[in-house]
Amino acid sequence: MQLPPLFQGTLIKRYKRFLADVVLENGQTITAHVPNSGAMTSTIAQGCPVWVSYHENPKRKLAYTLELSDMGSGLICVNTGWANKLTIEGIQNGVIEELQGYESLMPEQRYGEHSRIDILLQRGEEKCYVEVKSVTLHLGDTFAFPDAISARGTKHLHELAAMKRAGHRAVMVYVIGRSEALPFRLAHEIDPAYAKAFEEAREAGVEALVYQTRLTCKALSLEKRKIK
């Protein structure tokens, strides 16, 4: 997946969750949209290198978007929206072997209780509900999810379990958006309710896949090597 042209800068601060001030290499200070609702622990810090994209769209409040960062051990994808697109691409190009053989792929479909599933795969009457999460937390010697309490994520696990009990296939895909080669685990110490819901979902038959992203400043792609 090709990224838009990126401009390097240095992070001044993130604030109000979705805003970040960045000084670009040319000395210009800009405010960028931060497409990440998490705590972003271990992904950004004052003074760290960051990369932003620029968008000429009069409908946008902010022309710049925060895309990548580097905390000293390699690139990190801080734009959580890329995880869904990478998963779709990984299904379409055969990288995610476990999700092959379906006739249709539909993103953002309504299901459950006022929710949308990230990806709905279908073959005849057979349905496969796929939820995608972006993983960027470096915790100890592991990658972990979530980086903050995620009531929405817990709800998604309950609804995936309900879909499985209704006779459908249900899959959680965790996309690691970092360069380091580390194992993955759930951050039970951050959100025990999510960890409990995950175990209950697995007991109900919900599958879990973990893939890692190969990152450059020009493109992102999923690694064929599974972490778990």
Are 86 and 69 members of one domain? no
The stretch 55-64 carries a mean pLDDT of: 92
Residues 146 and 42 in one domain: no
* Banded pLDDT at 57 (limits 50, 70, 90): confident
User: Does residue 75 register a pLDDT over 60?
Assistant: yes
Predicted confidence at residue 227, as pLDDT, reads 55
pLDDT tens, residue by residue, 146-179:
999 999 999 999 999 999 999 999 999 999 999 8
Instruction: Please report which helix (H) or strand (E) contains residue 83, including its range.
Output: helix 81-92
pLDDT of residue 113: 78
Alpha helices, DSSP H, located in the chain? 81-92, 151-165, 192-204
Q: Are residues 187 and 199 in the same domain?
A: yes
pLDDT value for 115: 86
Q: Are residues 89 and 70 in the same domain?
A: no
Kindly state the percentage of the chain with pLDDT values over 90: 93
Residue 114: pLDDT band (50, 70, 90) is confident
Residue after which a domain boundary falls, among 43, 77, 111 = 77
- Asked if 50 and 68 touch (Cβ cutoff 8 Å), the reply is yes
- Looking at the 3D structure of the chain, how many domains does it have? 2
Domain that holds residue 47: 6-77
Please say if the pLDDT value at position 228 is more than 70.
no
Structure tokens at 37: 């609702």
Give the pLDDT score at 226.
58
